[in-house]
Amino acid sequence: MISHTHKESTENIPCLVKTLGITDYRTAFSIQNTLFERVLKAEIHAALIIVEHPHVYTLGRRSKEEDILLPKKQLQRMGVEVIKTNRGGATTYHGPGQIVAYPIINLRSSGISPVEYVRLIEDTLITTLKEFNILGTRKNGMPGVWINDLKIAAIGVRISKGITTHGFSLNVSSNLNYFDHIINCSSEEMSMTSIKNESPLIDANIKIAKDIIVKNFCRKFNFDLRFDQNPKLF
């Protein structure tokens, strides 16, 4: 359940949405930091970056170096980067065919607690999956969205000064083999799935999925879309 302040708001708050193509992780992180400063200065209330990354393994604050199961030289031959981040959570994979979303939101002024924030993200993902005729569920104590025992969406966030960075990812048509080369989210038992795997008869079009996520995210958070048409990154 969302908080009293958030629930009773009668005005939708503008949210700047930037939809990028395939963008390297460091560039996207730089954009997040720029938007974080703009939210901190109250120049904007909220922003959402939608992106795909080239192949990359990212390490969260709970990650261990041994989570990466391949030697550096092999990763280099595969064209996979390994990047340490300041988000919560453990090690995960991002790559083409996977939607990554970075919300930058002032939770304090929105009246949303950190726990509620994660729940709203999960609601966004579950609602999005319904539009592909997929039943997504939660697991107690394990942020993200699941299809039975298979994970389809991951969440890893950072909150500083009441403002969010990092975010969530949804496997649309990802090459899931890349998850086999890491201890994903600190669990050797975890297996992944995707929209393409779960609904093979439905076109797992990444652009359509991006549009659906943006729509559902803004509905769940009571945001009005403000698409940034500026060709510059920021």
Find, among 30, 187, 185, 23, the residue nearest to 99 by Cα.
23
Residues marked active site are found at: 185
DSSP reduced 3-state for 132: coil
- Between the alpha carbon of residue 177 and those of residues 59, 142, 173, 214, the distances in Å are 18, 22, 12, 27
d(CA 126, CA 148): 13
What single letter denotes the amino acid at residue 47?
A: A
Q: Around 135, how many Cα atoms within 13 Å sit in the side-chain half-sphere?
A: 2
d(CA 27, CA 64): 24
Considering only the C-alpha atoms of the chain, give the largest distance between any 2 of them, rounded to a whole number of Å: 55
